[in-house]
Structure 1
Amino acid sequence: MKKQAVAAGFVLFSFMLPTKASAVSFDQLYVFGDSLSDTGNIYNATGKTYPSSRRYFDGRFSNGPIWVDYLGDQLGLKPTLFTTIPPTPFPTQGINFAFGGASSGLDNAILDNRGLPGVLKQVLGFAETLQTNNQTADPNALYTLWGGANDFLFLNPEDSTTPINNISLALNTLVGVGAKNILVFNLPDLGQIPAAKNGNRNPTTLSKSTSDFNLGLAETVSALSQNPNLNIISVDTYSLLNQASALGFTNVTESCLDREDICDPANNKFLIWDDYHPTTAGHKVIADTALAAIQAKSVPEPAINLGILAVGAFGTVGMLKRQQKRSALITAGRVINAQWSHTTVEN
């Protein structure tokens, strides 16, 4: 495919009930996702040619640091890029497994036939490596998961079932190997981003698929949240396009790169950098919102613990059957077992 940007997704407030924020402490940060979370993996894997424009900052799909950088600074953690280390042993600072263009499943939606892992493959590979080394996931680490947009933008805009199943399986896999603190992002209304008007895409279809995906993901989050031993923290991205103006963004519908006549990256007034990705100012909002959600959930007040889970499209819809998840995990684990060890990246 000839697309130059890969995913879409943004964040705003979690609209959480008031509660006292307290200091939080994690000893590692693991990141799974696509270009919204990639701090240089696909850039290194493609010989520093993608993203190619000099207007993109240091291998990131934005004009500056992204939410992973900002949140990492706030937590005092900096994940190591997956492409700069061997898969094992895991470094103490955690790993960023996210690859620009990652589908929700096993492969890359943009650069196919290169062995670059999709979101589910990132998680299953992580789990497989732990099991091979007779380890469990660090229960004191923070694990972040954000994906699904590329399936709608570059694969099948009408199929919400596949990305729902993939991301749900990824979440259950992390829980299955011992992860306790998981930060989960839903999707914005993809029908409202600039890319929805490009490439013969149908904004109405993208909006419906986004809604269906968010409802399915909420179902998984609701089910996992019934476990008192898990700290599932969700950040609602769906509200951003309707609320970003309240944060001081004066242009939330056009990409900064498309309006160079009025776009000054230094003034932080544009929400969107290219047709798919937030500006660094938008990413800062994401990081601040994520940190607020983390701090709120760190206060063990039973009356609001579940209420802090995101609202809107991330509201509780139901509970997935655990047995179905367990069966799907076993099947997918077998599929990925052999594939992960052969995943290579070439500079």
Structure 2
Amino acid sequence: MRFSTVITSVGTAVVLMASPFTSANAAYSQIVAFGDSLSDNGNVFAAVKASLGFGIPAAPYWNGRFSNGPVAVEVMAQTLGITLVDYAFGGALTGTTNRAGIAGLPGIQNEVNQFTASLSAAGKTADASALYFLWGGANDFFSATDKLAALAPAIANLTGQVGQLYGAGAREFFVPLMPDLSNTRSAINAGATDQAKAHALSVAFNTNLTTALQGLQGNLTGATIRVFDPNPSLNAARDALLAEGGTAATSCWTGNYTGTGGTLCANPDLYTLWDDVHPTARLHLALGQSMAAAVPEPSTFGLALVGLLIAGFAARQRGKAA
């Protein structure tokens, strides 16, 4: 019997070691994704268009994505050469609400409920060879007045969803941590004090979510939970962009989701931020490639790296919090 394993991937460390194993990734049958705008590949656009007759986000947003190109999980699936089944909706909180303010748009809990209910109705179980991608949390904090109070419920929601998917038959999980919220334009514009608070909140969420998933693993026999820290990859992409003369302080698109009320930059590849909070396609590309590199076939070298990767993650988080 194989016991459950939590593997914490530090983006840059895994990228350096994963390339010899990319061919083994084909063992995953597909990626099934749940999340928010960082993973939405057009679901909000399609739902709003069906309801209101027009889709958002509109151009200059790219094909219904909350960016100017494919999102990270799309890049991940393409890099691995497997199908993506995407349930993510922009604006989704980890629970049953959506901050977009449009009736009918789900939270992440609704996304997972829809998936498991459809399996149950068909008398089926989840594909055990699929990789279940679950990424959320930022909208809980964007929406909360008391941001610290939002931390525990968001973590409980995400860990509960892993358990719910496991109960439906899922066995392979990929759970990215939250990007550093101090890099959003609203945090930057608010000044150094608020930026530091946003960073501290991000660290607290990521540390506690990792701990919670480690605690969950003992109850999920046969499961593998890969916890991925996106921040090393995002930071490396940001540093490379800045070295080329780009900017992390302003957004490429300054308007709204209807495609009006703002200006568009000449070269999005020289910006880390597409709008106030969403990364440009350049950062999504780097992140998706790092995500793909972080999922070697579980039976290969991954288990041997558990101690190294968890230690590296903990050391990096301690350094950021100091």
Question: Given the two structures, how large is their TM-score scaled by the length of structure 1?
Answer: 0.73
1:293 matched to 2:319? The reply is no
CA deviation map 1:195-252 (0-9, x unaligned): 3256999434433322221122101332345567222222212335644344444423
Matched, 1:73 2:85: no
1:182 Cα shift? 1.2
Structure 2 residue runs of 5 or longer lacking an equivalent are 1-8, 255-261
2:182 to 164, 182, 191: 191
Q: What does residue 233 of structure 1 align with?
A: 226
CA RMSD of aligned residues (A): 3.2
Number of residue equivalences: 288
The amino acid of 2:11's aligned partner reads: F
- CA drift at 1:12: 8.2
Letter matched to residue 214 of structure 1? N
SS at match of 1:15: helix
Shift of residue 105 of structure 1? 0.5
Q: Distance in 1 between matches of 2:217 and 2:274?
A: 34
Identity within the alignment, %:
31
**Equivalences for 1:167-316 in 2 at 5 Å?**
167-197=158-188, 202-225=194-217, 229-240=222-233, 242-249=235-242, 250-258=246-254, 263-265=266-268, 268-295=269-296, 297=298, 299-300=300-301, 302-305=303-306, 307-308=308-309, 311-312=312-313
Q: Which amino acid aligns with 1:299?
A: T
Tell me whether 1:144 sits opposite 2:133 in the alignment. yes
The letter for the 2-side match of 1:244 is A
C-alpha separation in 1, matches of 2:81 and 2:57: 27
Higher deviation after alignment, 214-223 or 199-208: 199-208
The answer on 1:105 being equivalent to 2:95 is: yes
- Structure 1 counterpart SS, 2:55: coil
Alpha-carbon distance in 2 for matches of 1:269, 1:164? 34
- CA deviations on 1:4-44 (whole Å, 9 max, x unpaired) are xxxxxxx9825338464242122222110001100111001
More helix by share: 2
Query: Conserved in 1, the CA contact under 8 Å of 2:10 and 2:309?
Result: no
Quickly say closer, same or farther: Cα 1:13–1:300, change in 2 above 3 A.
closer
| 1:161 lines up with 2:164 in the alignment | no
In the alignment, is the contact (CA less than 8 A) between 1:106 and 1:120 conserved in 2? Answer: yes
- Aligned match of 2:13: 15
The answer on whether the counterparts of 1:233 and 1:309 sit within 8 Å (CA) in structure 2 is: no
Please, what TM-score do these two structures have when normalized by structure 2? 0.78
3-state secondary structure, aligned to 2:56: coil
SS in 2 for 1:21: helix
Tell me, in whole angstroms, the C-alpha distance in 1 between the residues paired with 2:317 and 2:126. Answer: 27
Which ranges in structure 1 are unaligned for 5 or more consecutive residues?
1-10, 80-94, 318-347
Q: Closer, same or farther in 2 for the Cα pair 1:309/1:133, shift >3 Å?
A: farther
> Shift of residue 285 of structure 1?
0.7
* Alignment match of 1:31 (pick from 26, 33, 45): 33
